[in-house]
Structure 1
Amino acid sequence: MDKPSKIALYAIGAVIVLMMIAEITKPKALNWRDSYAAADKIPLGCYVLFNELKEVSNKTIKTSTKTAFENLKDVETNEKTVSLFINNGIHFDKQDSESLIKYVEDGNSVFISTNYIYGVLSDTLNINIGSDIYNFFKKPSLNSFTSTSLKHNERRFKDVIENSFFTSLDTLNAIALGTTHVNKTEKDPNDSIPETNINFIKVPFGKNNGAFYIHTNPFAFSNYHMLNGNDVYAATVLSFLPKNQIIWDNYYKSGRKVITSPLRFVLQNPALKWAFYITLISLLLFVIFKGKRTQRIIPVVEPLKNASLDFTKTIGDLYYQHGDYTNIINNKIQYFLEQIRSKYYLNTNELSENFISKLAIKSSNKKEDTKALIDYIVYLKSKNTHTEPDLIQLNKLIETFTKNNI
């Protein structure tokens, strides 16, 4: 690769790295989605409120992640409680509504703060919630209380607000506790909605001092307003509730964590969920301990045969069958003398007395036996023809000699 190509390649790589760094380090966009969940720290979550309630309450706060029907059937009847429902929109089905009505009839209280409520519960309480979306849906509004002693606790919500209010209610049973006021800069002659409307009521229900508290400004309880000076208003609204144990609803939330996995039925059932987890762990352990590659059986490899020995034996048999004893004796003598040279480093050109003495010492043989072998070799070398007894005798002497050393 030439130099210009390398420079271009490095430049492209540097640009990619810088883009990755910029993407990683850039600030995350603020999440403005409706949540109202106790664990969410985003502007419209309820993390601040939930933790403040834990600080000021003299009793532990119970958290419900089930429907009203499923949760309230497990609530002890001998202790009065207050259930808190806060969300931008809440819908209770018939079964949930009947459970809430029975719950309040038993002397408990329900607090609901929402922009929209409909269904059996709203029909039973004879209330409707709406808003003037053409005039002051998201305009700054002053949220006040009907009690003049709470004048200093009213707050103006300038932004992050949806001004909902009661469009109709049962004036014989409902008690107005708070209002919302919006200044209309341009009044439509056909506009019959006043600037001040009720947004907080109490509806006593049953004969055991139970009550529904309905509030139409859930934004007041969000992290955004709790941390921007409007926490006093939220605290004042909640101060109307009985000082009983609080049940915090974490089910009817826009930010509720929903399992979207195809296994959601299994994961929502505790028994099936643990069975599923145990199965996964068991499979993992199986893979770790049994899934390793098992070493295959090592085949038995027969050692290679020494073909040279077989070849030598074959050649020797051929010589022996043809009666060529002289050739066999000469080869045997040459092989023996080669062993003497390679092992004892002795010169075999002259088979003298001196050679016999050195060979006897180095081979750890008796001098007489060594001399008998060498003399017999000299004798055989002097003969022109040989017989079978000559070969047998030579072999016997060599075997006797080599038995101790070679």
Structure 2
Amino acid sequence: MDKRSKIALYVISAVILLMMIAEVTKPKPLNWRDSYSAADKIPLGCYVLFNELKTFSDGDVLENTESIFLYLNNKEISDKKQSLFIINGYVGLTEQDADALMDFVDDGNSVFLSSKTLYGNLADTLNLNIKMDYSGLLKEPANNEFTSPSQEESNRLFEDVIENAYITSVDTLNTTILGTMSIEDEDESHPNFIKTKFGENGGAFYIHTNPYAFTNYHILNGNEDYTATVLSYLPKQQIIWDNYYKSGRKIITSPLRYILASPALKWAFYISMFSLILFVIFKGKRTQRIIPVVEKLENTTVEFTQTIGELYYQHGDFTNIISKKIQYFLEFVRTKYFLDTNNLNASFIEKLALKSANTKEDSKAIVDYLLYLKSKTFHTETELVELNKKIETFTKNNF
């Protein structure tokens, strides 16, 4: 990797690091999602209320994380009266849930339900109808007041973060209106907090249509007295907090979703993946694949020549062998001394003696013997041996 590539890599890494630092340290935007969950500290969560319910509960606050039908049918039977808290923007109860809830109240227990809407079997049984105020795009500030004059100090004007809902019909025989709501600057008021007796054992439903009043936002912004007064109407019983019918109920469907749901685990996962990618890139470049060992090709020229020579020798073809050796010697002279071997005359002999390490007499002797052999058409083994000796003697000083 050259210097320029290294600089570019360092710059890119620095930019990525700065982006990660900026992402981690930047202030988180305020989450205005409807939650009503006991674990959420966002404005529309119910963390504050859940932790303050021990003041109104006779014993520890229990928590329900499954449907009402399953929870109440699996709950151990106890003589101790209890109050079930269901707070959410919309409560969707199945027929089985509604029946289990009414059986629970019929046994002398209480249910506090705060929602902007309520439909189904429970609403029909209680002869209850809730209506939303859709008079304008912007929700008008609304007065939430108690019908009891002694609670006048707890009345509050909800100016923001509110959706105005109210009750339009009730069971007049068994229902007591505990609170009302009215749009600011309007005289007409509507019930928004009621108590409906149910069964023969002193059980009751407490219906409230402003669930926003129990969120962190309003409790921490001056409306805590209103919330406390609403809860004071409930009997002092052990409270069961429903954490199932919640808009902010956390549903984990996979390990990856669980990791990404936690900021710390999410960034640990991102850093691990980024480090793994860098490792693969640099490790792949810096580690060279194993180079296989290639055996050096053997020079079999000598063995081949020896085999051919032995073949000629075994057949007694001395003339052919002498011809090949003469050609080989003359080729040696041409490549070694750069001499023309077409005319083996006196001039050639002088040049050969001059360029080789032999005397003029030795040079003349081998040239004369070559000319002698070339003039014959038939050769003997003795002549082949003599030629080989002369060539070896002549060339021994040149290797």
TM-score scaled by length of structure 1: 0.58
Whether 1:210 and 2:197 are equivalent positions in the alignment is no
After the TM superposition, which residues 58-77 of structure 1 pair with which residues of structure 2 at under 5 Å, given as runs?
58-73=58-73, 74-77=75-78
CA shift digits 1:115-147 (9 cap, x unpaired): 111110000001111112124862211111000
Q: Provide the secondary structure at the position in 1 that maps to 2:118.
A: strand
The answer as to 2:108 corresponding to 1:107 is yes
Size of the aligned set, in residue pairs, is 256
Matched, 1:234 2:227: yes
Deviations 1:137-159 (A, max 9, x none): 62211111000110001111111
| Residues in 1 aligned to 2:84 and 2:229: alpha-carbon distance in whole angstroms | 17
Is the CA contact 2:133–2:163 (under 8 Å) kept in the aligned structure 1?
no
Matched, 1:256 2:257: no
Within a 5 Å distance, the mapping from 1:6-405 to structure 2 comes to: 13-73=13-73, 74-135=75-136, 138-183=139-184, 195-261=188-254
Partner amino acid, structure 1, of 2:162: I
Q: Name the Cα RMSD after superposition.
A: 2.6
SS in 1 for 2:103: helix
Q: Aligned pair in 2 of structure 1 residues 110, 5: CA closer, same or farther (>3 Å)?
A: closer
| Cα separation, 2, equivalents of 1:136 and 1:184 | 18
Match of 1:386 in 2: none
Deviation at 1:259, TM superposition (A): 3.3
**Superposed CA offset, 1:156-213 (max 9, x none):** 111111111112222232211001111268xxxxxxxx74211000101111111100
**Any conservation in 2 of the 1:176–1:201 contact (CA below 8 Å)?**
yes
Letter in 2 for 1:215: H
- The question of whether the paired residues in 1 share the 8 Å contact of 2:36 and 2:247 is answered with yes
% same residue: 59
- In structure 2, the CA distance between the partners of 1:57 and 1:211, relative to structure 1 (3 Å rule), is closer
- Per the TM alignment, residue 56 of structure 1 is displaced from its structure 2 partner at its CA by 4.9
Contact 2:34 2:248 in 1 (8 A): yes
Q: CA deviation at 1:257?
A: 2.1
Contact 1:136 1:182 in 2 (8 A): no
**In 2, Cα distance between the equivalents of 1:55 and 1:210?**
21
Q: Is the 8 A contact 2:145 2:181 kept in 1?
A: yes
Residue ranges of structure 2 left out of the alignment (5+ in a row): 256-399
Q: Deviations over 1:71-99 (max 9, x none)?
A: 12224241211111001110111111111
Displacement after TM superposition at 1:55 (Å) = 4.4
55 and 109 in structure 1: CA distance in 2 versus 1, 3 angstrom threshold:
closer
**TM-score normalised by length of structure 2:** 0.59
